[in-house]
Amino acid sequence: MSDTTAPAGTTALPLTDRSGCACGCTDEGVPALDAREIPHAIRHATIFGALSGLRPGQQMDLVAPHDPLPLLAQITDREGEAITWDYRVRGPEAWTLRFTRSA
């Protein structure tokens, strides 16, 4: 069912599915987050936020400027076994890891 009722002065957008973000995007493929582009002061917080947005079964690739061992320890402390990872690329200029949320 489409909802076209909107307050005066606004534009109604037709909605057919009220689940998800309704932006029309698709979640095809595995998204990648390039941490090399994130300021160091907020890098880990940004990665934690991205990981928390994964639903069970979803995956995310992370591209890091170094082997992220301290980050992996923090993820283990925060998530336990709910997030797993495997290395896709091991340096020397970038490391790519694939994270999977199991729960």
Cα radius of gyration (the chain): 18
Query: pLDDT (tens digit, 9 = 90+) per residue, 4-40?
Result: 556 676 655 444 444 455 555 555 789 999 999 999 9
Query: pLDDT (tens digit, 9 = 90+) per residue, 44-54?
Result: 999 999 999 99
pTM score above 0.85: no
Which SS3 state, helix, strand or coil, does residue 86 take? Answer: strand
Token pair 């970038």 is at which residue? 94
Which SS3 state, helix, strand or coil, does residue 28 take? Answer: coil
Which SS3 state, helix, strand or coil, does residue 41 take? Answer: helix
